[in-house]
Amino acid sequence: MNKQEVDTFEKVQTQLEGLHMEISALSKKSQNDALNKFKLKFVNQILDSANSLLGENYKPFPDFTLFDESDIPTTSDAAMMLTQYLSCFEKLRADNVKQSSSGRWYWIIDGKESDIKTIMPKKIKEK
């Protein structure tokens, strides 16, 4: 990854997490309700950005790109897909960070450890 991709990754991951929290809360109230078109527009915009970052190697499903606006998804469908995207974002993070000798985590930029701090990936458990 390069610095611009790391910046975009952090922005899009934060947006995915926010959408996931919001839509999961809606899903718990009524999982079969349709997502409204206003929310769907933003979900698709963020998924489009996520797809660009993830590429074919990290995308959750090869045959899913965006929700079809003519077939509005339910809140539970949207929550499920956002969960999958968040998991794939963590895999991408895990593959592109390194723990320094001080115990802090840093992004690997253009193949080298950078000075850009990050958090420990959720997929890596401390011993």
Query: What confidence tens digit (pLDDT) does each residue in 87-110 have?
Result: 999 999 999 999 999 999 999 999
Question: Distance (Å, rounded) from C-alpha 112 to C-alpha 97?
Answer: 10
Structure tokens at 103: 């115990």
Rounded to 5°, angle at Cα 82 from 88 and 64 = 75
CA-based nearest residue to 75, from 107, 110, 39, 106: 39
Query: Is it the case that residue 126 has pLDDT exceeding 60?
Result: no
- The percent of residues above 90 in pLDDT, for the chain, comes to 92
The band of 122, judged by pLDDT with boundaries at 50, 70 and 90, is confident
pLDDT confidence of residue 127: 42
Mean predicted confidence (pLDDT) in 15-20:
97
